[in-house]
A = this chain, B = another copy of it.
Amino acid sequence: MGLQKPKPDVYQAIADPTRRQMLLLLQDAGELPLKEVTPHFSMTRAAVSKHLHILSDAGLVRERKVGRETRYQMNPDPLLELRRWLAYFDLYWENKLNALRLLVEEPETQTQTQEHLERQPDNGGLKPFFGGDSGI
């Protein structure tokens, strides 16, 4: 069983929009070396590398050395921590969620929202009592 990393704050890792975008990019692309991540952003290779390391420190990205290049892959597990935290506020939403969802989803999305509105959202079966701390 692999042990998990020190976890340098997921919250802060995703605070930066660039890094959020990187996660999405990696999610789509699967696994990319620095060289191929870089052109997606308007900053230097070094900057991209830094961001990737921050993501890596937070456990959101896994590195794998292949030859002289390091390939980066998404690992969303630490985001479970976020989910867990968000679950604290579910109680607040449960009542107004329906009304709110209309406002939120409407703008540019076609929605067949109504259907799954009924089934009460909850947090996907996640309970706020286990440590969503990656490592699996």
Contacts and interface: CB of A to CB of B under 8 A. Distances in A.
A77 B100 contact: yes
Interface in A82-132: 82-86, 88-90, 92-93, 96-97, 99-101, 103-105, 108-109, 116-117, 119-127, 129-130, 132
A136 B100 contact: yes
B125 A97 contact: yes
Interface size bracket, A side: 35 or more
Interface of A: 1, 3, 9, 11-12, 14-17, 20-21, 23-24, 27, 40-42, 74, 76-77, 79-80, 82-86, 88-90, 92-93, 96-97, 99-101, 103-105, 108-109, 116-117, 119-127, 129-130, 132-136
